[in-house]
Structure 1
Amino acid sequence: MRGLRYSLTSSDGSLTGRHPLQDLLKGFVLASIFYEPSTRTSSSFEAAMYRLGGKVVSISDVKSSSVSKGETLEDTVRTLQSYCDILVLRHPEVGAAIKAAKVLKIPLLNAGDGAGEHPTQALLDAYTIRSELGRLGNLRVALAGDLRHGRTVHSLARLLDLFEVRMDFVSPDTLSMPESVLNDLISDDYEIHRTLETVLDKADVIYMTRIQKERFDDLKHYEEVQNSFCISPELMNLAKPKMIVMHPLPRVTEIDPRFDADPRAAYFRQMENGLFVRMALLAMTLGKA
């Protein structure tokens, strides 16, 4: 994937912006359908397609589509596969990507299904860990914040379980990692914690997540846990000098902006990696890698 970042050039050798533009996917069209708000995932998928020479049909406001008329998800994706070669879908319903894939004849990439999964985020997260620390195995990774609703940590925990990674799950009691995720783990090499201080001096990676206000039925319950954790320069004095802090973003109050200048703050580098990983995914899925 690092090769995608530095080596891809268009047929005439031209570059666009800071990154090379390729024509690997010239003639291909991506359908980008987002039923939920997105900045990084939607933008990086679209930018990835453009940088590989493809085109994008984007539906980011379903209220302006036939969904507002009552069209089902299945009929929406059936329609778009008539015009496009690959589809990226974000949907608020857990399992929506599987439901859509069952009626499609073109590839579908899951860009997040409610509080379920976010597999492409897990891939860019794993790539970031390897890029920053030089390995994926023999690490201790703390996943912290809203583990109940956080689709990013659900996917990442399942992926890291395939490597020699010891995991710490840090959350308020009401926002613990779901049993469905824990039951999927092959290894039982994990611990459950309620405070960051208990894992900071051991962690090679702290993966922070925001408390997801939009997933709470009762705002009172959200207010009880919204400020459970905060990465600050003072707190990070307890951490290893060589480790990284990651975050899928957006952040709210769980990382103090004063920490941004710390070399261990990897979340903006992580965000940029999303472009390169999704370029690779698009190219491989369409058989052009």
Structure 2
Amino acid sequence: MDPSLENTLTSDPSTWVGSSLVSVRQITPSGLRLMFDVSQEMKTIVRLVGGDERLKHKILANVFYEASTRTSCSFQSAMLRLGGRVVCIDQLNSSVKKGETLGDTIRCLENYADVTVLRHPIIGSAAEASTYAEKPVLNAGDGTGEHPTQALLDCFTIQDEFSGRGGGIEGKTVVLLGDLKHGRTVHSLAKLLARSEIPGVKLRYCSPESLKMPEDVKAEVDKYGLPQEEFSDLREAIAGADVLYVTRIQKERFASEDEYAAVEGSFVVDSELMNEAPKGMIVMHPLPRVGEIKEEVDKDERAAYFRQMENGMFVRMALLALVLGRRCEPQGYKLSK
């Protein structure tokens, strides 16, 4: 990533206008607080009236070169709820099949759209795309690298879940479980929590030996002094924890079926485990799940992953409004309505 993009997004909405978001490194602690505030406003608007027209006549190019349900649909829904429109591109219906470069694709789409959302299988692709772009590029996942909008919605979910109990992220112990080697969601979440300057946060990592959190991620977290611990036993990891963040073992990232089979089903969250878990501990998952959380857990009020999924739309509404310069409410509209 271009070093000039680091630490650029603050509590001043003008710093977001026209900006790309390719890494959590861009988000300052005050910028994260602004995102919480605007996301909560968007949640209130959707609950009250379904949306507004602040992005009327704006167009989003949704470019997904990897499969996606939640990220793609939530960006589309976010744009539509704010009165904008969406054009969708994937690897099958784009000129990438003809050998078009990423830079040319981005330059092309800017003629038709006001903001581009990009998911790409190669690490650093979103940062590369932003160097060609004159309009905002939003990273929707680049290989095993980062997923900054997921990290934002994850932090917002933790804040939202505990704010109803008179708290927030402060002082929370967060367990990251599963495929920590390939999981861009946990890479971004760990980095964003470290950079947030929220007091008292602790990270615990629990994974198969071959899927541990990468050393470069741990080193970046360590720079900010955030406590980190590693566990091989899930029950030990969740003792006294506030958040259990579960990830699937990512079959598509393995070189062979045998490598995947060796770790498949290493950790499973079921009713038995939840009976032993702290009473106030929430369970999160970026989804999709493939057996690591049993459906019987869905009935547990601590299961927050579907609420987390909906929060993705609110956060992406906030992000689109900010980068397109429509942070303020339309004239005459009141959140207290």
Pairing partner for 1:199 from 237, 242, 259? 237
In structure 1, distance between residues paired with 2:178 and 2:156: 21
Aligned residue in 2 for 1:124:
153
In structure 2, distance between residues paired with 1:155 and 1:138: 19
In structure 2, distance between residues paired with 1:195 and 1:56: 45
Aligned residue in 2 for 1:78:
107
Aligned residue in 2 for 1:151:
184
Aligned residue in 2 for 1:12:
none
Aligned residue in 1 for 2:142:
113
In structure 2, distance between residues paired with 1:139 and 1:80: 42
Pairing partner for 1:39 from 60, 65, 69? 69
Pairing partner for 1:87 from 96, 116, 125? 116
1:183 alignment partner AA: A
In structure 1, distance between residues paired with 2:193 and 2:219: 14
In structure 1, distance between residues paired with 2:263 and 2:234: 14
CA contact under 8 A between 1:149 and 1:215: conserved in structure 2?
yes
User: Is residue 171 of structure 2 the alignment partner of residue 138 of structure 1?
Assistant: yes
How many residues get paired?
280
Aligned residue in 1 for 2:209:
173
1:245 alignment partner AA: V
Aligned residue in 2 for 1:220:
258
Name stretches of at least 5 consecutive residues in structure 2 with no aligned partner.
Answer: 1-38, 328-337
Aligned residue in 1 for 2:85:
55
CA contact under 8 A between 1:32 and 1:57: conserved in structure 2?
yes
Distance 1:94 1:202, change over 3 A: same
Aligned residue in 1 for 2:310:
272
Aligned residue in 2 for 1:239:
277
In structure 1, distance between residues paired with 2:75 and 2:114: 14
In structure 2, distance between residues paired with 1:113 and 1:192: 26
Once the two structures are superposed, residues 131-154 of structure 1 have per-residue CA deviations (whole angstroms, 9 ceiling, x without a partner) of 111211101000000000000000
User: Is residue 196 of structure 2 the alignment partner of residue 160 of structure 1?
Assistant: no
2:151 alignment partner AA: A
Identity among equivalent positions (%) equals 53
Q: What secondary structure, in the 3-state scheme, does the structure 2 residue paired with 1:88 have? A: strand
Q: CA deviation at 1:8?
A: 6.0
CA contact under 8 A between 1:200 and 1:238: conserved in structure 2?
no
In structure 1, distance between residues paired with 2:238 and 2:154: 19
Name stretches of at least 5 consecutive residues in structure 1 with no aligned partner.
Answer: 10-14
In structure 1, distance between residues paired with 2:202 and 2:82: 37
Q: What secondary structure, in the 3-state scheme, does the structure 2 residue paired with 1:7 have? A: helix
Q: CA deviation at 1:238?
A: 1.5
Q: CA deviation at 1:39?
A: 0.1
2:256 alignment partner AA: D
Q: CA deviation at 1:188?
A: 4.7
Once the two structures are superposed, residues 139-180 of structure 1 have per-residue CA deviations (whole angstroms, 9 ceiling, x without a partner) of 100000000000000000011112231000110111000111
Pairing partner for 1:229 from 267, 271, 274? 267
Q: CA deviation at 1:6?
A: 2.0
Q: Which has the higher contact order (CA 8 A, sep 6+)?
A: 2
Pairing partner for 1:254 from 275, 281, 292? 292
2:83 alignment partner AA: G
Distance 1:213 1:8, change over 3 A: closer
Q: CA deviation at 1:255?
A: 0.2
Q: CA deviation at 1:259?
A: 0.6
Moved over 6 A (4+): none
Q: What secondary structure, in the 3-state scheme, does the structure 2 residue paired with 1:264 have? A: coil
Q: What secondary structure, in the 3-state scheme, does the structure 2 residue paired with 1:207 have? A: strand
CA contact under 8 A between 1:44 and 1:274: conserved in structure 2?
yes
Once the two structures are superposed, residues 252-285 of structure 1 have per-residue CA deviations (whole angstroms, 9 ceiling, x without a partner) of 0100100100000000000010111100000011
In structure 2, distance between residues paired with 1:6 and 1:167: 31
